[in-house]
Structure 1
C-alpha cells in the first residue's frame, strides 16, 4: 500500500480553537524523514499555541498550522541523503533543529539559534515554527530523530522529549549530580521527571515541592526523598532542614509560578545553582541581591538540547525510567479539542494527555521516488513496527 495523498491533522482555528482537517502529505526533501505518527502528547506550550499567545505578531495562518512537538512513530519515507534510518524504524523526535550556521549552533547551543524561526536559513521547531506531530504524518530533519529500543513503547517514548528537557537542565550546571542535594519546584511532568532523573544520576538528597498531593505522591514513587506541600508548610525552610541548614546544591524551578524564582534562590545554598526550566506567563519579581550576596548562579534552558533526548532514550532503554504514572488520558486525533480541554482544565488530574494518532499496523511500501516533482524519496523495505 502506497502512502496516501492526504492526512488527518489537528490545525489551529481562531484563538482558543483547534480542530481536525485534511491536509496534503508533507513533501520529503533530501535530508528529511517522514514519520507516521503513532502517539503525541500535549504540554503547556501547546495551550499557548492554541490561544495564539505563543506567536505574538508572527503567528502562522490558521487552518494550516499543525501543533505538536512531543511525538513518536514509525519511519514512513526517507530523503535521498538519509541513510541513518529506514522505513519501519521506530523513532522519537526532538523538537529543535537549529540553523547549524550561526555561532550558537556551531557551539552546540542549537536551542538558542540566532536564526530562530527563520526557515529560509534552516531553523525549525516542530509544532512551533513548522508543522508538528498532531497529524498522521510529520516531517522531521534527520538530525532530530532517535531510534527507539524495542523495550520502549510509544507512550513512554513520547515522554522522553520531556526527559530531554530535564537532562538539558542538568547539562548547563557543568558538574556531576552524584552526591549533590537537589530541590525541584513544581510536580508537573518536567518536575516529576526532574526528581526521578536526579535520583538516577546519583543525587544524595532529592526534595520535591508543590501544591498537589496526588502529584507529590507520584514524586515519592519516582525517587524523591522528601515531598513538601507548599500550601501546608514553608517549602524553603523544609529544603534547608533537609540539607543540614545549608540549602540545596541545585534547585530546578519547573513550575513557572510567579513566586517560584525567589523561592528557588532562597532554597539554594551559598554558591549553589538554580536552573529555570518552567515558562512564566508574566514578568516575575525576585530578590536578585540575595543571589549576588550569596554567589548563587542562575541558568536557564528552553526545552531539550545538546543531544539530551538521545541520553533520555539510553536511560529508558536500560529500564531506568518510570513514566506510566504520568500518562493519565488517551484520545483519538479526531477528539483533539476535547483532549486540549481536558489538559487545560486538569480534568481527572490530567498530567500527560496522549493523542493516539494512528494504529500500530504495518506500513505500506515507501512512496516511489517520483511521487511528486522535486521530491527525493528513497524506497525502502517495509518492516512491521514493534512495540515493547
Structure 2
C-alpha cells in the first residue's frame, strides 16, 4: 500500500510499504479515507524524536474494513462498513492511574499514531478497537479528518479548569485551525468570543466571524484590551486561550484577563516563557496547560457535530492525494489546513456521504 513514511531527519516521501496484516485481538482495521496535516506533522519531518521508520499522520477518518477478536475490557462499538474517526493512542498500559480514570493522554507508557507508532497517512491503519468512534450521518469523511484537533479544542475548553459557558467572555489568540476550533467550541456553549490575530490574518478572522465569533480583530490595528473592556464593563476577559504558539502572545493574553481570569496554553512553544509573576499574584490569575485529548473529548465533539453546532468544512483549505505531499507541506507552512486522501479515490465531501 502507499504511505507517507519518515525514514530519517528531514527524509519523508511517498512509498510503497507492506500491506497490513489482519486485525489482531482487540484491534480494528480501517480503510483510511482522509487524513489531516497539522503543524506538528511539519515539525516531525525535521525532528529527531519518535519511531524511525514510521508512517506519519494522526488526524484520521475512514471506513471499518475488519474487526479482530474481542478482548475482555476493550469494547467494540462499530461494525464493518461504518464511517469512523479515531483517537491517537496506539498503545495504553491500561493499568496506571491515568488509564484507569480514562485520562489516556497522561499514560506514561502510551504510544501515539504518527509518532511512536505508524499513523494514518496510508491506505489502511490498525488501531485499538475502543479508539474508534462512529461519525454522525451529517458529517462527511473529509470533515471527519478534523475530529482529532476538534477533540483537542473540546478538552481545552470543557475538560480542564475552565468554566466556559453562557455569560463568559473568551479571547482566543491565533486564528489558525486550532484557534478556529477552540473559538467554535466556546461559541457553541454560549460564550462571547473575541478572536485575535494579525493584519495578515484578515481572511481567517473573517472565517471566525462567520462561524460565530462576537468579534474578530487584528491586534496590530485594534486595541484588544480596550475592546474587551468595552464588552465587559471594564472587567476584562474571563478566559484566554493562546493558540498561536508565540510567547509574546502569552504575555498579551495575561493583559486581556480580568481579575480571577484563566489563561489556557493550547499551542506548543519553541522557547521558554517568562511572565510577570506579580501580575499573576495580584490579579489571582490562573495559567493552565491544555495538552491532547481524551476519549470523552471525542464523544463531546461528536455530540456537538451531531447537533449541528459547529462548522468544519469552512476550515479546510486544500485537499490532495498522497502523491502531492510536497505541495501539501508547502501549504501547511502558509497556514492552510490540508486534508490528504490516502485511498487515492475521489471522496464525496457532502455531509452524510463520504464513500471511498
TM-score (norm 2): 0.90
In the alignment, which residue of structure 1 is the partner of 2:18?
Answer: 24
Distance 1:16 1:238, change over 3 A: farther
- Match among 26, 29, 41 for residue 36 of structure 2: 41
Q: CA deviation at 1:188?
A: 0.6
Distance 1:302 1:83, change over 3 A: closer
Between 322-331 and 106-115, the greater mean CA deviation after superposition:
106-115
Does the alignment pair 1:285 with 2:259? no
Residue aligned with 2:317, SS: strand
Contact 1:253 1:275 in 2 (8 A): yes
Once residues 89 and 173 of structure 2 are traced to their aligned partners in structure 1, the CA distance between those partners, rounded to angstroms, is 25
Does the alignment pair 1:387 with 2:354? yes
Does the alignment pair 1:78 with 2:63? no
Once residues 74 and 107 of structure 1 are traced to their aligned partners in structure 2, the CA distance between those partners, rounded to angstroms, is 29
In the alignment, which residue of structure 2 is the partner of 1:141?
Answer: 128
Once residues 193 and 40 of structure 2 are traced to their aligned partners in structure 1, the CA distance between those partners, rounded to angstroms, is 27
1:150-189 Cα offsets, whole Å, 9 max, x none, are 2110121111211111110021025351221111111011
Residue aligned with 2:145, SS: helix
Does the alignment pair 1:191 with 2:179? yes
Between 232-241 and 248-257, the greater mean CA deviation after superposition:
232-241
Contact 2:170 2:240 in 1 (8 A): yes
Once residues 163 and 322 of structure 1 are traced to their aligned partners in structure 2, the CA distance between those partners, rounded to angstroms, is 11
Residue aligned with 2:17, SS: strand
Contact 2:30 2:64 in 1 (8 A): yes
Does the alignment pair 1:124 with 2:111? yes
In the alignment, which residue of structure 2 is the partner of 1:358?
Answer: 343
Does the alignment pair 1:308 with 2:316? no
Residue aligned with 2:42, SS: helix
Once residues 160 and 76 of structure 2 are traced to their aligned partners in structure 1, the CA distance between those partners, rounded to angstroms, is 32
Once residues 314 and 71 of structure 1 are traced to their aligned partners in structure 2, the CA distance between those partners, rounded to angstroms, is 18
Q: Mapping of 1:1-388 within 5 angstroms?
A: 7-27=1-21, 28-53=23-48, 55=49, 59-61=50-52, 64-81=53-70, 83-96=76-89, 98-115=92-109, 123-170=110-157, 171-173=159-161, 175-203=163-191, 205-211=192-198, 212-344=201-333, 346=334, 350-358=335-343, 386-387=353-354
Q: CA RMSD in A?
A: 2.0
Contact 1:228 1:238 in 2 (8 A): no
Aligned residues: 342
Once residues 312 and 238 of structure 1 are traced to their aligned partners in structure 2, the CA distance between those partners, rounded to angstroms, is 30
Residue aligned with 2:30, SS: strand
Contact 2:55 2:121 in 1 (8 A): yes
Distance 1:222 1:206, change over 3 A: same
Residue aligned with 1:217, SS: helix
Contact 1:90 1:386 in 2 (8 A): no
1:272-301 Cα offsets, whole Å, 9 max, x none, are 111110111221222232112211111112
Residue aligned with 1:279, SS: coil
Residue aligned with 1:236, SS: helix
Runs of 4+ with >4 A deviation: 359-362
Contact 1:37 1:133 in 2 (8 A): yes
Once residues 108 and 8 of structure 2 are traced to their aligned partners in structure 1, the CA distance between those partners, rounded to angstroms, is 30
Distance 1:166 1:83, change over 3 A: closer
Q: CA deviation at 1:83?
A: 4.2
1:40-96 Cα offsets, whole Å, 9 max, x none, are 01001101111125x1xxx322xx301101010001111101642221111011113
